[in-house]
Amino acid sequence: MFVPAGLENVDRVRLGVAQQLLQEGDARNAREILEDVIANQPQSYPWEWEQDGTLLIRAWDLEEFMVESASREATHRGPVAWVPNVYGQAHYFLAFAHVQLREVEQAERVLLRALRDHGEHPRLHIEMAVVHAHRGEHGEAAERYCRALRMTEHSTDALRALALRGLGIQLAAMGHPREAQRALEMSLALEPDSRLAHAELAQLRQAQRVRAPTVECEAEEPDADVDPAALPLVEEWPGPVAAPSVRPGAVWHTGEGPRAEATSRPWWRRLLERLQHPFDDMAETA
């Protein structure tokens, strides 16, 4: 059965409170709230459905909704409305809280449950990459970031930029500074104002300059171009969901009248093809 609208609206408010607590560094109280919220998740929680001629799309934020609604233009000639994905987000932020509390095993269990109940979402794979990174499993973390990058459904430029930044950190930790620099530069191409990406790219370049090996040193230590500790694992705060100011869902028309603007860019398809096998360049230079 569907979750009662009133209960979901209450849980949406509680989700906002938990997000605020996480921003303030209070992961313990946020965890308690989020555990109560996900306990209310119904058995049926669809991604989309039609109601009175309106296609309702359950999306994590407004940017994702715009991407999803634009992709429905060919099949749905009518109004499209955004419904926030309360329980999918609650799982993600609960995993986020567990990671902040260094409860990595609990975070993994929450994410596996979220992937089962809410489908493949880039944000969930990105957070699973963080779990692997905290264990020092850099190869597994890199693969999760690449998995998020290969996804087109539910993905946005902000999520791609975040995944590229994480991939860059893992490549640096694995001893591949050139590929790491490339990933961070592509992240900045998508999100030029990211302070973390700028800082991490600057640290990577500085580490390469300081530790530039001589021919003799390179023969002894081929992967010693960068110190993995130069790029500390800092999880980027995803920010609160931008909620409409006057109604529970934002509405775009995909029939006559204003259309949702597609946020995909033609060059991104070529970038995705390059990322299908991100370690090919390493094999050539090994």
Q: What is the pLDDT of residues 217-273, one digit of tens each?
A: 333 333 334 343 444 445 554 443 333 333 333 333 333 333 333 344 434 344 445
Tell me 232's DSSP state.
Answer: -
Going along the chain from its start, the domains and CATH numbers come out as: 5-264 (1.25.40.10)
Q: What is the pLDDT of residues 166-217, one digit of tens each?
A: 999 999 888 888 888 999 999 999 989 888 888 888 888 887 776 555 433 3
Q: Is the pLDDT of residue 128 over 80?
A: yes
Task: Give the least confident one: 47-61, 113-127, 163-177.
Answer: 47-61
**What confidence score (pLDDT) does residue 8 get?**
85
Contact 115, 148 (CB under 8 A): no
- The strand order across the sheet containing 79-84 reads 48-51, 54-59, 79-84, 251-253
How many whole angstroms separate alpha carbon 57 and alpha carbon 141?
Answer: 30
**What confidence score (pLDDT) does residue 45 get?**
85
Label the pairing between strands 251-253 and 79-84: antiparallel
Rounded to whole angstroms, what are the CA distances from 250 to 20, 26, 46? 23, 31, 18
**What confidence score (pLDDT) does residue 5 get?**
59
Report helix angle 138-150 to 122-134, nearest 10: 170
In terms of pLDDT, which residue wins out, 119 or 106?
106
Q: Is the pLDDT of residue 152 over 60?
A: yes
Q: What is the pLDDT of residues 53-104, one digit of tens each?
A: 888 888 888 888 888 888 777 787 788 888 888 999 999 999 999 999 999 9
What's the burial of 67, exposed, middle or buried (CB within 10 Å: 0-12/13-18/19+)?
Answer: buried
Q: Which residues pair with 58 in a beta bridge?
A: 83
Residues across the chain: 286
Neighbours of 109 (CB within 10 A): 12
